[in-house]
Copies of this chain bind each other. A is one copy, B any other.
Amino acid sequence: MIGWKSATLGLVGAMSLAVTLTNAQEMTITSPGYTDDGAVMAPTGYREWVFIGTPLTPNALNGGEAPFPEFHNVYVEPSAYAHFKNTGEWANGTQIAKELVLIRQGDDCDETNGSCGEVSGQGYFQGEFAGLELTVKDTDRFADEPGGWVYYSFGHHAPPYAETAEAFPTESCNACHEASADTDFVFTQFYPVLRAVQEGN
């Protein structure tokens, strides 16, 4: 398993290389580890990857049954982010992690919308971690999956999460993600950091 420090060193190397590279495909991507039977190894250090955005769909606004009732903090592994920044494309080996975070239960919580009050006002604040998911792109390893992306969950509960995970069946995640096929199955419209990179600002 390649940990956080190696990933960061990889990013520094990639960023330096980008100055002189003519073929960006040569950039090194830190792909996940896999077990002998093909399960993926859980990412480590992902809270120090590059954060790209956090959608929030509270249960209270979705008939009590939101697909993701928590904040989802989404992070891109640094070498994959550097590649995207340089090329606008997701390389094979790209890892995008999504950590679920419960809405903090503060004062005067409102059942109609799920918000609570804190010193800065009524709204939504991040409480406890509640789950970890990962998507990986690899058109060689996962040649039959749409865009080469597979999706994993390391548990929908408080840490510690599972150390390995099996891929979800294709249809279970692509039922939604196929809506973003035009942007290589990543919901770029919800991630301002990615849009800024694409627009060069």
Residue numbers of A with Cβ under 8 A of B are: 5, 8-9, 11-12, 15-16, 47-48, 50-51, 53-58, 61-62, 66-68, 71, 73, 75, 78, 81, 101, 104, 110, 112-113, 115, 118-129, 159-160, 176, 179, 187, 189-193, 196, 201
Contact = CB atoms under 8 A, between A and B. Distances in A.
B190 A129 contact: no
B56 A192 contact: no
Q: Which 7 A-B pairs have the closest CB atoms?
A: A57-B123, A51-B51, A57-B121, A61-B122, A53-B126, A113-B113, A62-B121
Interface of A is mostly: mixed
A45 B91 CA distance: 22
A69 B176 CA distance: 29
Contacts of A191: 126
Contacts of A75: 51
